[in-house]
Amino acid sequence: MIHVINSAHSLDGQNWKRNGLAIPFELGVAQAFSRPTVAKNHLGGLEMWFSYRSGAGETYRIGYATTDEGKQWRLALEDAAIDVSSEGWDSEMIEYPFVFDHKGSRYMLYNGNSYGKTGFGLAVLERG
């Protein structure tokens, strides 16, 4: 199964220019993308978190990509900064992230095992 994330840009919010593939996929590594969420980073670029699977039978994980200008995204799965827990409600899979900022902190809501059947979580980014 291959799901991709495409991109489009608009100057007025009504007329859109489709730009095609936003996140590069790699068969057997990251190919079933879903539920992207985008936020600005502290350098003025953009960060994206999303669900993905490798295509080799693994359950969903949360992936990460970044861009400086919003045009060329770099896939950086190892930088997602979140993975399944060793036990409990999110020990088998994590997916469907929603990232937002509130009062100077960054938060991520995400689903756990069985697409959230056993619970959802709230992760807080610790800024150093």
Give the pTM: 0.87
What are the tens digits of pLDDT across the range 60-92?
999 999 998 767 889 998 899 899 999 999 999
The sign of the torsion formed by the CA atoms of 26, 49, 85, 53 equals negative
Mean pLDDT of the chain: 90
Query: Do 122 and 112 touch, CB atoms closer than 8 A?
Result: no
Q: Distance between CA atoms of 101 and 79, rounded to whole angstroms?
A: 18
Residue spans per domain, the chain: 6-124
Classified as helix, coil or strand, 82 is coil
Fold entry, domain 6-124? Tachylectin-2; Chain A (2.115.10)
